[in-house]
Amino acid sequence: MKVPFVNLGLQFQNLRDEIMCKFEELSIKGSYILNAEVQEFEKNFAEYCGTRYAIGVGNGSDALSFSLLALGIGKGDEVITAPNSFIASAWSIANVGAKLVFVDVCTDYNIDPDQIKGAITPKTKAIMPIHLTGRIADMDSIINIARNHQIQVIEDAAQAVGASYKGKKAGSFGVTGCFSLHPLKNLHVHGDGGVITTDEKSIYEYLKKIRNHGLKNRDECEFWGYNSRLDEIHAAIANIKLTHLDSWNQRFRQIANRYSKALASQVTVPIDFEYENPIYHRYIIQHPKRDALSKYLYNKGIETKVNYPIPLHLQEAAKSLGYKLGDFPMAEQQAQTILSLPIYAEMKNQQVEYVINSIRSFEN
């Protein structure tokens, strides 16, 4: 049996008629940039996340950078984040000229609030928790720390659309929540895309301008901004898919629960907290012979990935920050043992069981 890591075409096949109908409608209208579809998606996405506003942008990386710029964060400032994410998280901080400050993570792969406290300096302007694998970080602790030190929280919720923590959705905790609509995300478009959520009107107004060159109207430019707009066709696709998101996320959870129940005696599996509702954008196990297990599964037709094998503080791009091996032992240890299993809403039960049985048959 073949079990690819992802199979994006299956989702399109299920929604083909709806998507193609909308594509034809917009193509005939010639409506492509910042029109009704974007506005409708922004309205629907804000309602979904429980925020007042949402702003579509070109990608999730810009969502993070624009959020930092909206808070006036730049050269001479520090932003605290975790070292075990995709490069975009760290890039967004470096991109605005601020200093990256990493702290270690917990067993759930999310930033450790206890480590945050010791990393705060007078130059700290924000904390950027990353809701890795679709599990929301310990936001009660993080928000309390931020309030006590009068600093802001920007959520990197790229992997967590629809996840909740104590009844609140990802993207509704910080001053902004930043989402990616990249094809590998639970809610995705046919290319790059991103969304920012916020309750602050002034930030919302700023973000609307910065994504569109800094224009306040067709002819007047208030400041030098960027060209990073979510286009109409992508917004229309996202609008269609948003109506299916909860059922897809439920399927992710079903698969994750099945994996955890069946594999707990073979490998280290994630353990949910009672107050959270993860979406399991990635289902990650740990095994001391990770590479051998990955190769074994590949030979049986099962594709796996490592998200992410090199922590951010050990990347060549981060050399100037002065971090070294051993600085963040939890993140470093996890990077040696983590393995992402196939998980997507269109997976068949037979494929899930095949993955389980194949892992069970691996000789440790």
Q: Where is the domain boundary, 179, 208, 242?
A: 242
Cα torsion 3, 9, 13, 19: sign: positive
Q: What is the CATH number of the domain that holds 327?
A: 3.90.1150.10
Cβ density class 89-118: b for 16+ within 10 Å, e for less: bbbbbbebebbbbbbbbbebbbbbbebbee
Q: Do 55 and 143 share a structural domain?
A: yes
Q: Do 252 and 207 share a structural domain?
A: no
Q: Do 251 and 235 share a structural domain?
A: no
In whole angstroms, give the CA distance from residue 127 to residue 244.
32
Q: Do 260 and 218 share a structural domain?
A: no
Give pLDDT, residue 363: 83
Q: Do 251 and 225 share a structural domain?
A: no
Q: Do 197 and 109 share a structural domain?
A: yes
Q: Do 237 and 258 share a structural domain?
A: no
In-domain check, residue 1: no
Give pLDDT, residue 44: 98
Give pLDDT, residue 364: 67
In-domain check, residue 113: yes
Q: Which domain holds residue 163?
A: 8-242
Q: Which residue has the tokens 């494929």?
A: 351
In whole angstroms, give the CA distance from residue 128 to residue 139.
11
In whole angstroms, give the CA distance from residue 25 to residue 181.
22
Q: Do 251 and 216 share a structural domain?
A: no
- For each successive 10 residues of the chain (364 residues), what is the average pLDDT? 97 97 96 96 98 98 98 98 98 98 98 97 98 98 98 98 98 98 98 98 98 96 98 98 98 98 97 96 98 98 98 97 98 98 98 98 86
C-alpha 40 chain-centroid distance: 22
Q: What is the CATH number of the domain that holds 42?
A: 3.40.640.10
Q: Do 311 and 284 share a structural domain?
A: yes
> Which amino acid belongs to residue 180?
S
Q: Do 330 and 276 share a structural domain?
A: yes
DSSP string, 123-135: TEEEEE-B-GGG-
Closest CA to 15 of 254, 168, 241: 241
Q: Where is the domain boundary, 213, 242, 271?
A: 242
Q: Do 163 and 283 share a structural domain?
A: no
Three-class SS of 7-24: CHHHHHHHHHHHHHHHHH
In-domain check, residue 2: no
Total count of domains within the chain: 2
